[in-house]
Amino acid sequence: MSPVLADVLLVAALIGALALVHRPLGDYMAAVYSAKKHLRVERWIYRSVGADPDTEMRWPAYLRGVLAFSAVSVLFLYLLQRVQDRLPLSLGFKPISPDQAFNTAVSFVSNTNWQSYSGETAMSHVTQTAGLAVQNFVSAAVGIAVAVALVRGFARSRTGDLGNFWADLVRGTVRILIPVSVIAALLLIAAGAIQNFGDIHTVTTLTGDKQAISPGAVASQEAIKDVGTNGGGFFNANSAHPFENPNGFTNLLEIFLLLVIPFSLPRTFGKMVGNVRQGYAIVAAMGIIWFAGVVAVTWIEYAHPGTASQLAGGSMEGKEQRFGEGPSSLFAVSTTMTSTGSVNSFHDSYQGLSGGVLLLGMMLGEIAPGGVGSGLYGMLVMALIAVFLAGLMVGRTPEYLGKKIGTREIKLAACHILVTPALVLIGTAVAMALPDGRGAMTNIGAHGFSEVLYAYTSASNNNGSAFAGFGADTTFFNTTLGLCMALGRFLPMVFVLALAGSLAEQKPVPATAGTLRTEKPLFTGLLVGAIMIITGLTFFPALALGPLAEGLAA
């Protein structure tokens, strides 16, 4: 079988698997967040934190819950890293430096999982499991909770109540993320991923050198890093490491895991607003952009433009021989469009134009399908923008799901979509203007600029992947990227929850002959077009200086 045909069948199998679980998983998540009863373990958790899960919250109270929980999580994870040498199972590792501990704490709490360290040589078993893995669960649950709050804003009327943050957080963790991750971890272990708490092993390599290999709870962390679109790998090589990603089956499984919840949440949205066709329109827009990215990157990597790649017969630098161009490209597009950051190849080695596509996937706001929760609420904000543009064209007050999109709503939506471009462009400009920023570039010219642009795009969009040649472990980048991760995660949530509260207070308006049918293919096309135009106008100059210049020069 030719490699191209094998790749086509691989993508078809992935799409088929996602389509198969879209309805049952989406319906199940809708039932979870609509349920009135609490499980026994959930009631125990509520009592332990002193929360009343039946108390409805307006958006300011919901936001305070999000921010308070996240702030405590950052503090706990920071302290855990600073004292890990005094805890059991430390493996002899030293405490993490203050700036790197800050960066890592913000990274995992914001669901970014940016890593400026090698996990197997820096983080103890306790830090990996009680710190990083726990945040993989709860940071993902926070993202879903905010998305569900926005969905309730569309579904409810004449009330500012959006549900209860603590109930949404606990249910998302206990009823969704933990069960899916347990099944995924068992599959990974059966396929060859490791899972233990042993000591460091010293082995002799084929060349006669000595190498220290760290074991650990890899499969369990691998499962939630993908299911929760987190991305922080146990090993520095992430999913290119055979202990994390042993073979072709696990490679496809991991891609499926990082896509399954984001692509199923639109069904949850449709069920909760009482119109599943609305969910189909949203997931169709997500799928079109994702599939276009897969085709573009795979084609460019197979075409292997450039003298070196042509002489080698393919773009295999930075890719695992076990996977090749096709599965590596599929993984790369899926991870950059889902705010995951997990990688099975090094994006720094991709062709200039394909690296530009990966950058664009993040610059879109990671909404195709985006992160767990964040992808859905990001796409719904873009849907409001699309409806607003359609209203301008026909001279009508825009409406979406029976809610009028007025001045307040459009201002909040605009503020949401402006946060990331501001952080990316300002951060990149400052880094390129200062010696501390330029010093991290391992390449000169357009590719070196792309490394810095990619770093701030990844941090501000809470992705976590990087152009691997970028030297991120400096005080300057640990601090500035940490700030971008925090602001890029929590500022949009402020605007989303304020938007949800505004929508929930409205009285629904009946549909008329002039109402835009937002469940039709026409709206899906309008939504995709609005996303590409807004992103293109915002980021095209920066892309022209980096990946486009590099790609056209090749």
Three-state secondary structure string covering 121-178: HHCCHHHHHHHHHHHHHHHHHHHHHHHHHHHHHHHCCCCCECCCHHHHHHHHHHHHHH
Average pLDDT across each block of 10 residues of the chain; the chain has 554 residues. List them in order: 86 97 97 94 94 95 96 95 88 87 92 81 84 92 97 93 96 97 96 84 77 80 92 83 92 96 97 95 96 94 65 67 90 92 87 90 90 95 94 82 91 94 94 80 80 90 81 82 94 97 91 83 95 89 88 76
Give the SS3 label for residue 547.
helix
445-460 and 475-505 helices, crossing angle to 10°? 50
Please tell me the pTM assigned to this model. Answer: 0.94
Residues 6+ apart with CB under 8 A from 91: 124, 125, 199, 200, 214
The pLDDT score that the predictor gives to residue 515 is 79
- Per-residue pLDDT at 554: 66
- The predicted pLDDT at position 366 comes to 83
Classify residue 492 by burial, with Cβ atoms within 10 Å: 0-12, 13-18, 19+.
buried
Per-residue pLDDT, 175: 97
Which of 163, 332, 144, 363 shows the shortest CA–CA distance to 251?
A: 332
Q: Which amino acid is at 116?
A: S
**DSSP character for 93?**
P
pLDDT (0 to 100) of residue 305? 61
Is the Cβ–Cβ distance between 152 and 162 less than 8 Å?
yes
* Most distant pair of Cα atoms in the chain: their distance: 77
Which contacts qualify for 535-544: CB closer than 8 Å, 24 or more apart?
535/360, 535/363, 535/364, 535/365, 538/363, 538/421, 539/360, 539/363, 539/421, 539/424, 542/424, 542/425, 542/428, 542/453, 543/356, 543/359, 543/360, 543/363
Report which of 456, 399, 440, 472 is spatially closest to residue 115, judged by C-alpha positions: 472
Vertex 7, ends 5 and 12: CA angle to 5°? 95
Q: What is the reported pLDDT for 420? A: 93
Closest CA to 365 of 416, 330, 331, 292: 416
